[in-house]
Structure 1
């Protein structure tokens, strides 16, 4: 446990659900944990006890919040949980916080599995993330391939082997999200969704995904935060080839500030890490973390112009593999863009690469 993490409260201690169980964390709310094949090696998924009108009959069941990537092991774990953890009840809908593969990857399989000739299990998510997931699943721009390689090259990635590997990742997103449901029910900011006996209010967050949805239940004092507020790591905030002039870090910081409207007593159910309390403390930590990174980057750009690839050692003190480097490059550009939009940096091109210099 790092120093920042130690200032948070973990009501469940070190308890984690194993692969065979869904652990209750609040009345009618169960925690599922699935493995991921990345350095970030797991994702938390949630089961909410539900009751919906199905063809004129009020039907008890569950809503699944987030899905995991599409992988044989993930499907097998879900099938076991369906047999043992749902009290013999069906899944009535699937709700996805955002379009990243670990969240939406199995949505198509889940809604198909739980649909019948008389009932189509629906997908609920924001329309912007739904559309972006379709683009990514089809191998669209911004998720790997030539567009991503050219974007990274324009920001200083210059090793031929690395660029070749990025080009080869054209179908990286689609490999984990091979399909997306054809239809969805749109989630909007401030929209209230009745799930079982409780109302859950949608809170849109920006910067990490196009239109990320967190869910807050006042009755339970619970926030399903998705990736917007994580207890141990900072959320990845990146500029992508599909939106090369964006300022996602400022959008993210503004979204965090809006979460201060929630009570500090709220139990936060994050997508990675353990359920915790200490919302304001964590917002302060994340805000301070990014302020420190921005200050370090500005100081470095005062000393001499640099590109995003040259900024990586300033922002990331550990060794990075290629998968981590692609995220880190996007994050470095995001920090440089924030300083640029604040009027603290100017940018210019040198041999086709964007350079940044303090004003």
Structure 2
């Protein structure tokens, strides 16, 4: 494959697997497509051939019967009935970790992820208590959501555990900088933050002469940290209402500059692509434009719900609304941290329990 310059994005893999299907994208690397029951209707999983040791699976789809049935076929057909050595979850979201416990029990594989992502998954899959439920309601009420929308979001209680019915009880921890041996090749754990607190990406440099697999391809399994066509969701959640994940994400984007520009990126959604540096620049620009738009909106004091509606004017279902509100608050919190906005609590339009955001006067 010819090199891709920094200022271009291309898609060198011409075809896309059907749902439940797979294809090889590099020697010993299978691209698996799994269906999701959302507007974002698929997730990519990756199977890495470790030779005699068995396969390494990266991400695994939801923990539902349909996905389990697909994996039964994949284990037999795509993976040839050979052992599965490990399951890697890039992060705790249900489409990435949902089927992990079932796969561990089915195959005897070792489960690996970062400690933070595993702990989040264990906590959320166990359900909530009254204090957490109250914090969730307080967070969305302060956002100024209409009562019908608020009721719909609160009715989603237990949604995580429905997609993640179990999480592996033991973990082999991955840290940024760790090496993961798959066959005779080493993958390096790339850290980051923003989309979640401690996601895992895996990087494999191009094969060198004499390593027995000189394929000339540098590969990055990026999870949701960098995607080819959509912006990864950067959200604030009710349990950490003052967080600033956008700062973490923008720092993470800069780290991709250390990788070769022609790295083939294997994302969790969309198609494999090259043009890593260009895509990182596009995502940074996207957030800069969002921040400028919100700052301008807040010349007049706004609720988080009003900012959400301005950023996402199309109709949203409750699942989408959760992510849209979280993203709006993430940008608002970032502007507060930068000294560009003030948050006024306990008064103003909508009642005493609703926060307003207003642009801070210069000087």
**In 2, Cα distance between equivalents of 1:250 and 1:326:** 20
2:183 to 176, 196, 200: 196
Does 2:322 match 1:329?
no
Which stretch shows the higher mean deviation, 285-294 or 316-325? 316-325
Does 2:231 match 1:227?
no
Does 2:135 match 1:134?
no
1:156 to partner: Cα distance: 1.1
Partner of residue 81, structure 2? 88
C-alpha change, 1:282 and 1:231, in structure 2 (3 Å) is: same
Does 2:305 match 1:318?
no
Partner of residue 209, structure 2? none
**In 2, Cα distance between equivalents of 1:328 and 1:266:** 31
Does 2:362 match 1:354?
no
Partner of residue 33, structure 2? 33
**TM-score of the superposition, structure 1-length normalised?**
0.91
**In 1, Cα distance between equivalents of 2:235 and 2:98:** 20
Gap runs ≥5 in structure 2: 1-6, 207-216
1:242 to 233, 239, 243: 239
Is the contact made by 1:148 and 1:166 (CA closer than 8 Å) also made in structure 2? Answer: no
**In 1, Cα distance between equivalents of 2:358 and 2:129:** 29
1:165 to partner: Cα distance: 2.4
Which stretch shows the higher mean deviation, 322-331 or 79-88? 79-88
1:285 to 276, 282, 285: 282
Please give the residue correspondences for 1:74-85 in structure 2 after superposition, counting only pairs within 5 Å: 74-85=67-78
Is the contact made by 2:221 and 2:267 (CA closer than 8 Å) also made in structure 1? Answer: yes
Which stretch shows the higher mean deviation, 64-73 or 17-26? 17-26
Aligned with 2:355: secondary structure?
A: strand
1:313 to partner: Cα distance: 2.9
**In 2, Cα distance between equivalents of 1:327 and 1:314:** 14
**In 2, Cα distance between equivalents of 1:68 and 1:310:** 33
Please give the residue correspondences for 1:171-190 in structure 2 after superposition, counting only pairs within 5 Å: 171-190=158-177
Partner of residue 11, structure 2? 10
**In 1, Cα distance between equivalents of 2:24 and 2:359:** 51
Partner of residue 260, structure 1? 257
Does 2:69 match 1:73?
no
1:82 to partner: Cα distance: 1.1
2:150 to 133, 149, 163: 163
**In 2, Cα distance between equivalents of 1:140 and 1:222:** 39
**In 1, Cα distance between equivalents of 2:358 and 2:182:** 51
Is the contact made by 2:36 and 2:42 (CA closer than 8 Å) also made in structure 1? Answer: yes
Please give the residue correspondences for 1:77-116 in structure 2 after superposition, counting only pairs within 5 Å: 77-115=70-108
Does 2:352 match 1:338?
no
1:238 to partner: Cα distance: 0.4
Please give the residue correspondences for 1:143-162 in structure 2 after superposition, counting only pairs within 5 Å: 145-159=133-147, 161-162=148-149
Which stretch shows the higher mean deviation, 64-73 or 312-321? 312-321
**In 2, Cα distance between equivalents of 1:99 and 1:20:** 22
CA RMSD of aligned residues (A): 1.6
Alignment deviations for residues 135-164 of structure 1 (CA, whole Å, 9 cap, x no partner) = 11011379x9543232111111132x3222
Please give the residue correspondences for 1:298-317 in structure 2 after superposition, counting only pairs within 5 Å: 298-302=295-299, 304-317=300-313
Runs of 4 or more, structure 1, over 6 Å off, are: none
**In 1, Cα distance between equivalents of 2:157 and 2:21:** 36
**TM-score of the superposition, structure 2-length normalised?**
0.90
**In 1, Cα distance between equivalents of 2:259 and 2:129:** 36
